[in-house]
Amino acid sequence: MRLPNLKLGLTEGSVSPRDVPSACTERLTAVAERMGSARVRRSARLMEAIEHHALALHFGERIEVLDICAEPHQELRVWEEFFPNADVHGIYSKNADSIHCDVPENTDVSQRFGAEFWADMALQRSPHLIISDGRLSHCQQLELFTYLFPVAEPGGVLVFEHRGRSGKSSADDENVLHALLYKIVDSDFDSSSLLAKRDDFLGYCARNIAAIEYIECGVVIRKRIFEQHKFTARPLSALAEETWTVDEPSTYSRVTPRIFGSTVMDQRTRDLIRTLGARPAPEGQVGVISGVTVLDGGIVITSDGHVIEESFINARHLSRRGSLFRVGVSEIYVSERSISAQQTLVGDTYAIVKQTWDSNFGHWLVDTLPRVANLGERFPLASLKFVLNGAAQPRIRDLHTEGLGLFGINADQVEFADWRPIFVEHAVYATPMTIPPFTKSPHAISILEGLVSRCSPEVRSKFSGTRRIYLTRNKYPRRNLVNEEDILPDVLRAGYEVIAPEELSLEEQIALFASASHVIGNMGAAFSSLAFSPSCVKVFVLATEFMLHDYFYDLVCHKNGEYWALQGTAVGSDLDIGSDFSVDANVFRELLVEFNR
């Protein structure tokens, strides 16, 4: 694919390079010619474009240049002359032998310039100017761009020449990098576009490319200017001042699900069980850390440039993780917006229990709340204050404080923090005991089961006995069961109570599920309260054809119960996991009879 001849993101009447303060009074083209640069012989126009975009670089400050080229000595001298305060580094593209990196001579070229190579380079460098002479394959160029564009300094410039590894022009060849750039050009650099909202690398580019200039022999890309920091992720045990293990890794048995209405979903669930079913739940740890910043999603960064890896819970499948973006498949992360703390918590010791997706009742209940008990293993809970998600809806915040109250934590111990970064002087952190969506520690479930006895006697007496319950979601704005009225008569005749869980307090939900022997309903977060259900509970979920059976199926495994599911058919224009849906009422009726035996 070939880009049109575009010059985007450039300001009319830009300052001439001659007007920029610099120790070098020559134009870049003149310097390159004087140094015998092969690049300027290939295209003086390319050198002019590089100079134009490099206006954003501060000539008086120290900058870093990385040049991937076949004639490193001549080309590096050009940058040393033009940027007198530059740190200039070169990589020999002809045989991938790096001048500044230890690359074995007998390493295959594709391996030398593969993801691992560029990830190592991204860890070492944050260049202001990156130039590749086009000798790498198109896929290698894309790998370079994937790893080095995110770590390049804001305002930095990346240049890719159109040359095959033989040196012959290859601008008309299929080029995956250009295909990516074309999509960004097509979005008109609109930060509110659907492309910019994506969580993947394409979305990162759409948000952070300020200009693309395509010329006959290459493409010049300029990064927008913003506050950027680079981090590496490490486990709590490597970052905390002191850690304690409060829950050892453990495994548990899986029950066999019965899934109807979709052979595809049935097979996908069985594949999940086969690949992840024996994975042990993670070790539960508690650690003391000082001087940390808590970002949106509860991501915790330390003062020495690390991220607590466990704080990525519920975000590990994403490249864009709150304010941070993952570089390729490495453990390197860069910020996309300011992470300067806008609030400071000092004096007291704060437990950080904020996390990604904790505005969802189920993820907060199962992934977060049990960690409070682990903190209590090492610290008197009355001596701590707790950082929670203040961006959650008021109803969810009430459930959060009610849950903490079951551990004896008062409302005045709670600090609700929204999406803005918050600095914590003295903190304690408990690692998650779950790997969503398919693995949960038996200890975490045991902690939740223990909350049943902490409910008030009045609530427990209200929901005493053995019950059959049907959970409706039809008071929610999404994923409604549109033909629920067709199945409710059968449900009621079978002795089920119709429950809207959102109308109950947390204590009432706990006591309700603790008394439920049979649970049927439209699959959603309310099923997370199965954690309180008795052993051998029977569960029958109704779901769209897009809903996987993982999170709630896993809870049933902890109960050694039965898990039944009927896949329905989504309705509406945008068909996805949130769509309204219907189920076959006749099939449901037949299954209900068998389920109740």
The rounded distance, in Å, linking the Cα atoms of 30 and 37 is: 10
Do 44 and 170 lie in one domain? The reply is yes
pLDDT at 38 over 70: yes
Grade residue 92 by pLDDT with cuts at 50, 70 and 90: confident
Residue 391 is predicted with a pLDDT of 87
Tokens of 314: 């519920």
Is residue 583 domain-resident?
yes
Residue 24 is predicted with a pLDDT of 59
Do 373 and 464 lie in one domain? The reply is no
Among 223, 239, 271, where does a domain finish?
Answer: 223
Q: 10 Å Cβ neighbour count for 457?
A: 7
Is residue 215 domain-resident?
yes
For every residue of 202-230, DSSP letters joined together read HHHHHHHEEEEEEETTEEEEEEPP----E
CB 411 within 8 A of CB 440: no
Residue 103 is predicted with a pLDDT of 40
Residue 377 is predicted with a pLDDT of 96
Q: What is the CATH number of the domain that holds 25?
A: 3.40.50.150
Enter the pTM of the model.
Answer: 0.88
pLDDT at 579 over 80: yes
Grade residue 94 by pLDDT with cuts at 50, 70 and 90: low
Do 465 and 438 lie in one domain? The reply is no
Among 380, 415, 444, where does a domain finish?
Answer: 444
Residue 241 is predicted with a pLDDT of 96
Is residue 276 domain-resident?
no
Residue 10 is predicted with a pLDDT of 34
Residue 344 is predicted with a pLDDT of 94
Average confidence (pLDDT) over 453-457: 94
426-443 pLDDT tens trace = 999 999 999 999 999 999
Could you give phi then psi for residue 310, rounded to 5 degrees? -65, -20
Residue 170 is predicted with a pLDDT of 47
Residue 18 is predicted with a pLDDT of 38
Question: Following CA atoms 572, 578, 581, 584 in sequence, which dihedral angle do they give, to the nearest 10 degrees?
Answer: 140
Among 412, 444, 476, where does a domain finish?
Answer: 444
CB 39 within 8 A of CB 69: yes
Residue 179 is predicted with a pLDDT of 81
Grade residue 59 by pLDDT with cuts at 50, 70 and 90: low
Mean pLDDT score of the chain, rounded to an integer?
88
Residue 108 is predicted with a pLDDT of 42
Do 208 and 326 lie in one domain? The reply is no
pLDDT at 219 over 60: yes
CB 177 within 8 A of CB 220: no
pLDDT at 58 over 70: no
Domain that holds residue 497: 455-595
Residue 583 is predicted with a pLDDT of 97
Is residue 6 domain-resident?
no
Q: Which residues contact 176 (CB under 8 A, 6 or more apart)?
A: 138, 139, 141, 142
Of the two residues 452 and 98, the one the predictor is more confident about is 452
Do 31 and 174 lie in one domain? The reply is yes
Residue with tokens 């394959």: 137
Is residue 190 domain-resident?
yes
pLDDT at 106 over 80: no
Could you give phi then psi for residue 81, rounded to 5 degrees? -75, -40
Is residue 68 domain-resident?
yes
Q: Hey, CA dihedral for 337, 338, 344, 348, is it positive or negative?
A: positive
pLDDT at 586 over 70: yes
**Of the candidates 317, 400, 361, 314, which has an alpha carbon nearest to the alpha carbon of residue 524?**
361
Q: Distance between alpha carbon 277 and the CA centroid of its chain, in Å?
A: 23
Grade residue 22 by pLDDT with cuts at 50, 70 and 90: very low
Do 51 and 200 lie in one domain? The reply is yes
Is residue 267 domain-resident?
no
Do 68 and 178 lie in one domain? The reply is yes
**Of the candidates 334, 301, 317, which has an alpha carbon nearest to the alpha carbon of residue 146?**
334
Residue 368 is predicted with a pLDDT of 96
Least confident of 112-116, 370-374, 380-384: 112-116
Average confidence (pLDDT) over 156-178: 65
Q: For the chain, what's the residue count?
A: 597
Residue 4 is predicted with a pLDDT of 39
Task: Give the 3-state secondary structure of residue 423.
Answer: strand
CB 225 within 8 A of CB 301: no
Q: 10 Å Cβ neighbour count for 105?
A: 8
Residue 176 is predicted with a pLDDT of 73
pLDDT at 25 over 80: no
pLDDT at 593 over 70: yes
The rounded distance, in Å, linking the Cα atoms of 14 and 222 is: 15
Grade residue 12 by pLDDT with cuts at 50, 70 and 90: very low
CB 458 within 8 A of CB 509: no
Q: What is the CATH number of the domain that holds 519?
A: 3.40.50
Reported in sequence order, the residue ranges of 217-269 that DSSP labels E, i.e. its strands, are 218-223, 230-234, 242-247, 258-260
170-202 pLDDT tens trace = 444 456 787 888 888 777 767 778 888 899 999
pLDDT at 373 over 90: yes
Task: Give the 3-state secondary structure of residue 124.
Answer: helix
CB 98 within 8 A of CB 111: no
Do 360 and 439 lie in one domain? The reply is yes
Do 392 and 460 lie in one domain? The reply is no
Grade residue 102 by pLDDT with cuts at 50, 70 and 90: very low
Do 54 and 163 lie in one domain? The reply is yes
The rounded distance, in Å, linking the Cα atoms of 471 and 364 is: 19
292-347 pLDDT tens trace = 999 999 999 999 999 999 999 999 999 999 999 999 999 999 999 999 988 999 99
Residue 36, Cβ density class (10 Å: 0-12 exposed, 13-18 middle, ≥19 buried): middle
Is residue 31 domain-resident?
yes
Task: Give the 3-state secondary structure of residue 497.
Answer: strand
Q: How many structural domains are present in the chain? A: 3
Q: 10 Å Cβ neighbour count for 181?
A: 23
Grade residue 97 by pLDDT with cuts at 50, 70 and 90: very low
Give me the sheet containing 129-132, strands edge to edge.
97-98, 87-92, 64-69, 129-132, 157-161, 218-223, 209-215
Residue 393, Cβ density class (10 Å: 0-12 exposed, 13-18 middle, ≥19 buried): exposed
pLDDT at 61 over 80: no
Of the two residues 98 and 154, the one the predictor is more confident about is 154
Grade residue 370 by pLDDT with cuts at 50, 70 and 90: very high
Do 353 and 406 lie in one domain? The reply is yes
Do 212 and 359 lie in one domain? The reply is no
